[in-house]
Amino acid sequence: MKKDLMFLLCGTLAAGSALADNYVISTPNTSLVITANKKQKAYIQYYGSRISKDDINSLFDSRSVMWQDTYPTFGLHSSGEKALYVTHSDGTMSTDLCVQEVRQYKESNADLTEITLNDTVYPFTVKQYFKAYNGTDVISTWTEIINSGRKPVTLYKYVSGVIPVPRAENWMTHFNGGWGSEEQINEEYIGNNMKVIRNTDGVRNAHTSNPSLMITLNGKPQENTGSVIGATLAWSGNFKLKTSAGPNYLTLFAGIDEENAHYILDGGKSLVTPELILTYSNDGKGGVSRAIHKWARKYGVHNGEKPRDILLNSWEGVYFKVNQKGMAQMMEDIASLGGELFVMDDGWFGNKYPRNNGSTSLGDWEVCREKLPEGIDGLTAAAKKNHIKFGIWIEPEMSDVQSELYEKHPDWVLSQKNRQLITGRGNSQVILDLSNPAVQDFVYGAVDRLMTNNPEIAYIKWDANAGIMNYGSPYLPKNKQSHIYVEYHKGLTKTLQRIREKYPDLVIQACGAGGGRASYGVLPYYDEFWTSDNTDALQRIYIQWGTSMFYPAITMAAHVSANRNHQTGRTVPLKYRFDVAMSGRLGMEIQLRDMSDSDKEYARRAISAYKEVRDVVQLGDLYRLVSPYDNKGMASLMYTTENKDRAVVFVYKMTHFSGQSFARLHLDGVDVSKKYRIKDLTPRDPKRPASFDGKVISGAVLKAAGLDINSALNGEYASLALELTEVK
């Protein structure tokens, strides 16, 4: 009896031994080492700079291996954090996973390692994946949890992956905020405790906390130096990123937030957990950002390598006051400045309930005939006349209790049978139940109908202005109500996949009341996100700084808006507003009719300058030079092409005092062996550019001695945008 039980427990390898099947998963600059012997536990031993298979013995001899179970489960060794907690059909609360098989194979864009872990007793399997993306320094990990038995099991915890980090002076960089103040950076020391970052919005997952973090291997986070692991979870719903510190290493557990979301896996069914995207860099936070950005443009963002159009969005210009004449005038105005696309925001739809404010009509995706008698055709015709493209706003996951959709399908809304509905925006907004295939069809149909009737639509702004309320699905069975948090996003993803299959070239922006959807959970289907409803240039420097840690400029919609700013009331010169927006995906969101002629003339020049450097900003490597968080009175960043033959530098004055003096600006992104001609891209007066304009300066000097920018930063809200071009 005793012997049998011994046989049925998964073996553990003695620490310190290299007699094992070791797998080295590598990218050009990083490696992950896993020990996975048949009928034993699997272990992560190392994640860091690239090493080779020949280094394995040295790795063990150095004793720096970590022996972190790749997917620790609850119930036998019960103490400590776990990746998986399952109750099996007979009530047993433990899972004991043992390596069955390891397969390594190539996919078109990556090298895969697949470890099959079987329970020693129950018909229950976890397939654990590690994917090294070609041409990038990203390795991702996720699992497929399979119930091969006949009876259901319940998953109470089911993370995507774990990654151990050697214990030293470890710090964490993470991002949180709220509406109008997204992606604020927090940096804190990780002591002998547990840190949890989670988001419980249910629909959007980047407002209050972003599903991304960095962990340093030793010491305070630095921009250009130090070893840092970057992790971001490609999931659009609730997440939990948890670090648990032990004496030798701390471990990151990342996955779907399991709270109020236990998941019943029926016999024969499986659940695939979201991908955890990982990178490692010895070049500080900057290195992590560049690695993630590169991966994102190649693999993580829809059409991530296709430069974006310069647009005018109607929202801050007219809010809900949409009509044919006003839209046509805005199109004419942006076209006259060199813009390429016009996006009609909220307010264009609803007939029984015309959308005049935020309290009606969501779901009634029919053009409001009173406001737009010529329909969308009238608008696309105006766009054509002005030689620009046309885009439109929708919020297809939502409804309002005052809408025809809700009147017809009250059972399509998340709700609870015996309780009154809680409502969101306008005391009216409710959330569609995307776990229901009929609702998925409706959402797909809303986009498909728009596009079929108006194939000239080139861009959709897809908004989501509410988190999950009324946690109840009329569609899901009684015992699976806890699946809503997961099924909502599986439904959303399915719908987006269908849309993308039919409309691969349609540009779609993810918006979630501002930056709620800056997340790799949705970005494979969206080209960009609305970074924040806050368009105040000064505050945007902080918001965009935090956002840039994990998201490349091409995804970051940044619009020049009115003076005084509608969110903060701040008054900022047009040049500054442009220089800030030009460091992302430039657009405008303003009533151009109200602009003075000289401002219009300036805007025309700035737009044309952006076109010159658009590829460098949107596709280039980011170097953050001076952080606004360092209180140096200014902030600066630059983008360079891959071979560093061109670059763009942005400088923003943040505070203004007499006697202020700024340190030399060292351009970290340049090639020291090259020479560059400097051009002032956006001088307010073209006859009086900054003194650097036209000068040829060596990369060595730009990096080592730096630029003295004091005379160029005269006055309040001074800013600079410089283009650098290699001179041979």
Two tokens, residue 242 = 């948890």
Give me the least distance between CB of 236 and ligand GLA, in Å please: 17
| Residue corresponding to tokens 């310069």 | 310
Contact (Cβ atoms closer than 8 angstroms) between residue 574 and residue 546: no
Nearer to ligand GLA, 273 or 465 (CB): 465
Give me the least distance between CB of 460 and ligand GLA, in Å please: 12
Task: List contacts with ligand GLA (CB under 6 A).
Answer: 315, 345-346, 358, 393, 463, 465, 511, 513-514, 530, 533
Spatial neighbors of 728 by CB under 8 A, at least 6 apart, are none
* CA 419 to chain centroid: 35
Give me the least distance between CB of 185 and ligand GLA, in Å please: 22
When computed from its CA atoms, the radius of gyration of the chain, rounded to whole angstroms, is 27
> Phi/psi at 366 (nearest 5 deg)?
-115, 140
Nearer to ligand GLA, 125 or 531 (CB): 531
Nearer to ligand GLA, 390 or 650 (CB): 390
Nearer to ligand GLA, 343 or 651 (CB): 343
Give me the least distance between CB of 429 and ligand GLA, in Å please: 10
The dihedral built from the CA positions of residue 326, 327, 332 and 336, taken in this order, carries a sign that is positive
Give me the least distance between CB of 406 and ligand GLA, in Å please: 18
Give me the least distance between CB of 323 and ligand GLA, in Å please: 16
Give me the least distance between CB of 131 and ligand GLA, in Å please: 33
At 716, which amino acid appears? E
Nearer to ligand GLA, 179 or 503 (CB): 179
The dihedral built from the CA positions of residue 44, 45, 49 and 52, taken in this order, carries a sign that is negative
* Calpha distance 356→349 (Å, rounded): 9
State the chain's maximal CA–CA distance in angstroms.
92
Nearer to ligand GLA, 129 or 393 (CB): 393
Give me the least distance between CB of 433 and ligand GLA, in Å please: 22
Nearer to ligand GLA, 406 or 529 (CB): 529
* Calpha distance 553→576 (Å, rounded): 18
**Residue whose CB is nearest to ligand GLA in the complex, by number:** 346
DSSP 680: E
Nearer to ligand GLA, 347 or 573 (CB): 347
Give me the least distance between CB of 180 and ligand GLA, in Å please: 10
User: CA 61, 66, 71 angle in degrees (round to 5)?
Assistant: 140
* Calpha distance 58→605 (Å, rounded): 59
Nearer to ligand GLA, 533 or 536 (CB): 533
Nearer to ligand GLA, 284 or 584 (CB): 584
Nearer to ligand GLA, 466 or 637 (CB): 466
Give me the least distance between CB of 512 and ligand GLA, in Å please: 7
Spatial neighbors of 467 by CB under 8 A, at least 6 apart, are 200, 201, 202, 203, 204, 424
Give me the least distance between CB of 447 and ligand GLA, in Å please: 17
Give the burial string for 405-425 (b: 16+ CB within 10 Å, else e): bbeebeebbbbeeeeebebbb
Contact (Cβ atoms closer than 8 angstroms) between residue 29 and residue 49: yes
Nearer to ligand GLA, 345 or 404 (CB): 345
For strand 153-158 and strand 263-265, is the pairing parallel, antiparallel, or unpaired? antiparallel
Residues in a beta bridge with 197: 241
**SS3 of 450, please?**
helix
Closest CA to 166 of 75, 64, 72, 261: 64
Nearer to ligand GLA, 359 or 691 (CB): 359
Residue 503: count of CB within 10 angstroms of its CB:
16
Give me the least distance between CB of 355 and ligand GLA, in Å please: 9
Give me the least distance between CB of 20 and ligand GLA, in Å please: 52
Give me the least distance between CB of 313 and ligand GLA, in Å please: 7
Nearer to ligand GLA, 349 or 444 (CB): 349
Nearer to ligand GLA, 137 or 346 (CB): 346
Give me the least distance between CB of 566 and ligand GLA, in Å please: 11
At 484, which amino acid appears? I
Give me the least distance between CB of 534 and ligand GLA, in Å please: 10
Spatial neighbors of 652 by CB under 8 A, at least 6 apart, are 541, 576, 579, 580, 628, 634, 635, 636, 719
Distances (CA, A) of 127 to 98, 268, 326, 447: 11, 15, 56, 36
Nearer to ligand GLA, 283 or 345 (CB): 345
Nearer to ligand GLA, 346 or 400 (CB): 346
Contact (Cβ atoms closer than 8 angstroms) between residue 37 and residue 21: yes
Give the burial string for 241-279 (b: 16+ CB within 10 Å, else e): bbbbbeeebbbbbbbbbbeebbbbbeeeeebebbbbbbb
The dihedral built from the CA positions of residue 241, 473, 522 and 355, taken in this order, carries a sign that is negative
DSSP 713: S
Contact (Cβ atoms closer than 8 angstroms) between residue 347 and residue 319: yes
Give me the least distance between CB of 640 and ligand GLA, in Å please: 31
Distances (CA, A) of 429 to 206, 357, 360, 438, 726: 20, 12, 8, 20, 54
> Phi/psi at 653 (nearest 5 deg)?
-80, 130
Two tokens, residue 369 = 């005939």
